[in-house]
Structure 1
Amino acid sequence: MYRYKTQYVAVMDRGDLVGIFTYASYLGNVLRSGKEAEKTPLDEVMNTAPTPVDAEQSCRDVFQTVCQNGFPYIPVEQNGRFLGLVSDDILRLELSRELNAMRKKIGFSFFSPDDGSAMGGARP
């Protein structure tokens, strides 16, 4: 996780998703509880019940599912095959871009997620 600068990883068994291990899981279920990381089985500290979403679902629907589940990530599948994980941060960014594109069409925008600048009011 450190090497790839990520906070979560998919745990796979023979090509099937069996859970998601997070840095928060490590902190909460291993370090704070006094367990030894080298002796703690992964299945004791990972989320073993992640509800996947379909790759064809909209970002809005997926974000709603992420919020309802209370986890900052969600597995994505297509035809029952695991494709990867998507985070709430990525979904927020995409939704912000979509909203900004709609605002640009009508000539009004508050925020540009591409450069982080505020752009209040009507645009010429």
Structure 2
Amino acid sequence: MRPISDLLQKHHGIWSLHPQETVFAALKTLADHNVGALMVMDAGRLVGVFSERDYTRKVALAGKNSRELKVQDIMTTQVISVAPSTSTDECMALMSQRKIRHLPIVDGTRVMGMVSIRDLMDEILQEREDTIQHLQTYIAG
């Protein structure tokens, strides 16, 4: 069980946007970085998360205009985050229990990054593969 901070070292950059940006601009940022969610930051402080799910449920299905609507109007403000020392297994359990797909990593007030459920799945699967390979090598002598 590795700390989630180890996984963050594989990711480069913290992608975020300001709450006053339009939803359309946020969608473009999602597409540019090929991610499903972005942290919403104001003056260096995490104030929310904007995800594809927020867009589909609160804009597209509601018939609202993404070029006029601001991110602050639809972002998720009840942000669940973890400390960098939290294990990958604990993060996976939390994401499963809370039915979230993206998890910001915060050290005090400093935002360190965000991981997705896919990032965690890939990491856990790789750890399991490494363990299997190690055991096969050990058994083979």
Normalising by structure 2, we get a TM-score of 0.72
Q: Structure 1: which amino acid aligns with 2:135?
A: I
Larger helix share, 1 or 2: 2
CA 123–18 in structure 1, closer or farther in 2 if over 3 Å, else same: farther
What RMSD over aligned residues (CA atoms) do the two structures have, in Å? 1.8
Q: CA deviation at 1:38?
A: 2.3
Instruction: Say whether 1:54 aligns with 2:83.
Output: yes
CA 91–36 in structure 1, closer or farther in 2 if over 3 Å, else same: same
2:100 to 67, 71, 74: 71
| Counterpart Cα distance in 2 of 1:58 and 1:73 | 15
Instruction: Say whether 1:43 aligns with 2:72.
Output: yes
Q: Structure 1: which amino acid aligns with 2:113?
A: G
- The structure with the larger Rg is 1
Instruction: Say whether 1:93 aligns with 2:107.
Output: no
Q: Secondary structure at the match of 2:64?
A: coil
Any unmatched runs of 5+ in structure 2? Answer: 1-29
Identical columns (%): 23
Q: Secondary structure at the match of 1:101?
A: helix
Instruction: Say whether 1:17 aligns with 2:15.
Output: no
| Counterpart Cα distance in 2 of 1:93 and 1:123 | 27
CA 102–35 in structure 1, closer or farther in 2 if over 3 Å, else same: same
| Alignment coverage as a number of residue pairs | 111
Q: Secondary structure at the match of 1:2?
A: helix
Q: RCO greater where, 1 or 2, for CA within 8 Å and sep 6 or more? A: 2
Query: Which residue is equivalent to 1:2?
Result: 31
